[in-house]
A = this chain, B = another copy of it.
Amino acid sequence: MGIIRLKNRVSVAAVSSVCGRSEYDGRFSDRYDEHSDDDTFEQKTFERAEEEMMRRCFGHALRKGRFAPSDIDAVFAGDLMNQCTASSYAFSDSGIQYFGLFGACSTMAEAVMLAALTVGGGYFRRAAATACSHFCTAERQFRTPVEYGGQRTPTAQWTVTGAGCAVIDTGNSGMYIKEVLPGITVDRKVTDAANMGAAMAPAAADTLTRYFKESGKSPGDFDVILSGDLGYEGRTITTELLFQKGIELGDNYLDCGELLYKKEQDVHSGGSGCGCSALGLAVYLFERFRKKEIKNALFIGTGALMSPMATAQGHSIPGIAHLVHFSSEV
């Protein structure tokens, strides 16, 4: 158990992203491949909109990488909608071998990890990793329907309407997967579904501590350390938990949940959802590698393994965090 170093070259061949209006109005407008002004993607329900968003996102990844669907041997996909609805339908009748995942908001990292391990192992020539979330489907499912107009607490996060996709193969892209470290489920007894940052932070701290301890590296060895969707609350707790273990995260530590929106957009503690880290990977991390601005980055997908039923029954929310080390060199 521990850090897995990939022996063969495993590369991020292409990324794509599709998002909703709020995300388009955020900090990275020009970097999304497509957006929907009313978050519906011309569908009758938000559930269908989420599915359509993921389907289009995959289409953009194929287009940008100049791949045919038959060039993709497998897709690893997941979302938040009971039960992985968007993913199941988005790839229905696509003719592509399909692995459904549930890692809550950590799904993108889980998918990239499994795509990297299977491509690196020579099982697939090329695999896609994709994840998505939609504000309206997630609010209805996990909290209250949007129409209810409930007041949001300061620790609440804003579920990102977005889908991200990364195509993984053994090519020569300038962004390689060097190492992965799968997460361990950690439950610190947070029961507030409006404070997922606190539920996920102990898991993020656990994975990062294990990584630095085993690798002998320190946060300063990386240009960027990017967590998935801890938001302001979770990032602060994670920084504190690591500080207690003697690990100091500096200015290079960022969180996708804080990165995607402008301050005046009032998303409270930051973005969240499977789409959050999926977009962060596509529009921020990949872009910086592409522009040769960074050489080494840690990507930590964080997930609050929430269940509406468990929340209704008063149970706490376990967290998980999967780590992927990207590098500009093989």
Residues facing B in A19-71 (CB within 8 A) are 45, 47-48, 70
Measured between beta carbons, the chain B residues less than 8 angstroms from A91 are: 185
Q: A121-B117, A121-B120 are in contact. Are A83 and B186 (CB under 8 A)?
A: no
Q: Is the CB of A47 within 8 A of B318?
A: no
Q: Which residue of B lies closest to A125 (CB)?
A: B1
Q: Is the CB of A315 within 8 A of B182?
A: no
Q: Is the CB of A101 within 8 A of B100?
A: yes
Measured between beta carbons, the chain B residues less than 8 angstroms from A103 are: 99-100
Q: A120-B121, A320-B98 are in contact. Are A85 and B47 (CB under 8 A)?
A: no
Q: Is the CB of A184 within 8 A of B98?
A: yes
Q: Is the CB of A182 within 8 A of B83?
A: no
Say how far A181's CB is from chain B's closest CB, in angstroms. Answer: 8
Which of B48, B93, B102, B309 sits near A47, CB closer than 8 Å?
B309
Q: Is the CB of A185 within 8 A of B93?
A: yes
Q: How many of chain A's residues have a CB under 8 angstroms from any CB in B?
A: 58
Measured between beta carbons, the chain B residues less than 8 angstroms from A124 are: 1
Interface string of A176-192 (1 = CB under 8 A from B): 00000011111100000
Q: A95-B184, A182-B99 are in contact. Are A89 and B123 (CB under 8 A)?
A: no
A residues lining the B interface (CB < 8 Å): 1, 4, 45, 47-48, 70, 73-74, 78, 80-85, 88-89, 91-104, 110, 114, 117-118, 120-124, 137, 141, 182-187, 305-310, 313, 315, 318, 320
The 9 closest A-B pairs by CB, nearest first: A121-B121, A88-B305, A97-B182, A85-B307, A82-B82, A100-B102, A92-B318, A84-B102, A92-B187
